[in-house]
Amino acid sequence: MGVMLTRKNEKGNVLFLILIAVVLFAALSYAVTQSTRGGNNTNREQIELEVSELLQYFTSLNTAILRMKTTNGVDDTELSFANAVWVLEDGTTLANPPGHNPNCINTECEVFHPDGGGMYPKILSGNSDAWFDTGSTAQNAPGHAKIQLITHTGVGTSTPNLIITYAYLNPDYCGLINKKLGVTETDILDTKRMNPTVQNFSGEYTGTFTEDVGVEEPEFAGKPTFGVRFTNRNVCKLFHTLVVK
């Protein structure tokens, strides 16, 4: 019985990842089309280009993780995102970066290793004055990601999902991504401010989550990728689902 449930959950996860890929591909195609139409707004074109690159990166991450699980037999609890690229805002390299997983005992379960996912830890680029705001030195540097957990209405079960987050972004970028992914017909960031409970990932899909995404903000329910504005600052945080539980 346990084996049957496990296989059912794996199939559900694969189907959801395929759905994510389809949605992101559609958004990516639209972004590329928009960025090649020309026009006089150079800043807008740059935003379109950077958003399309980021959506492509998310698609590649999901594909790499799916391949690791189906080909290498890597379990969700073994995925490791350890790297020496993402740093704190003061430039300090994290000795134990978010996403490091002690359950990973070989390179086949490392997302950022050629034997594993073959991916790389992406740093968001662009004009720092437009793309980023600054946070505290206890946080990752702007443009440097974290691998975290979140509970999300309409995405998986009550068990937290694995996500990648980019914080301290200019709200315009999250607003653009929301629009392209059909999160809402209008710009959520004009009216919505929330800060859902997140927890850094270290191999276990457990934790205490006091605020689920999609309960108070139904437009986020069932959306694997979205951006929200911090409750206390005029910056936004981008969320993308990597593993659905």
Q: Which two tokens stand for residue 207?
A: 């934790």
8 Å CB contact between 65 and 79: yes
Amino acid at site 181: L
Query: pLDDT digit string (tens) for 167-225?
Result: 888 777 888 889 889 887 666 666 666 677 888 898 999 988 888 888 888 888 999 99
Cβ neighbours of residue 51 closer than 8 Å, sequence gap 6 or more: 31, 173, 176, 177, 180
This prediction has a pTM of 0.79
Tell me, what's the pLDDT at 96?
Answer: 66
Distance CA 87, CA 66 (A): 26
Neighbour-count burial of 150, counting CB atoms closer than 10 A to its CB (0-12 exposed, 13-18 middle, 19+ buried): buried
Tell me, what's the pLDDT at 175?
Answer: 84
- Tens of pLDDT, residue by residue, the chain (245 residues): 433 334 445 555 656 566 665 555 555 555 444 444 444 455 777 778 888 899 999 999 999 999 999 999 999 999 999 998 988 877 777 656 767 899 999 999 999 999 999 999 998 875 444 456 655 666 778 788 989 999 999 998 889 999 999 888 877 788 888 988 988 766 666 666 667 788 889 899 998 888 888 888 888 899 999 988 776 667 788 899 999 99
Q: What is the domain partition of the chain in residue ranges?
A: 2-243
Residue 88: DSSP 8-state: B
Tell me, what's the pLDDT at 154?
Answer: 92
Distance CA 197, CA 148 (A): 10
Tell me, what's the pLDDT at 118?
Answer: 97
Tell me, what's the pLDDT at 40?
Answer: 42
Distance CA 204, CA 87 (A): 23
Q: Which two tokens stand for residue 93?
A: 């390299």
Q: Which two tokens stand for residue 199?
A: 């927890």
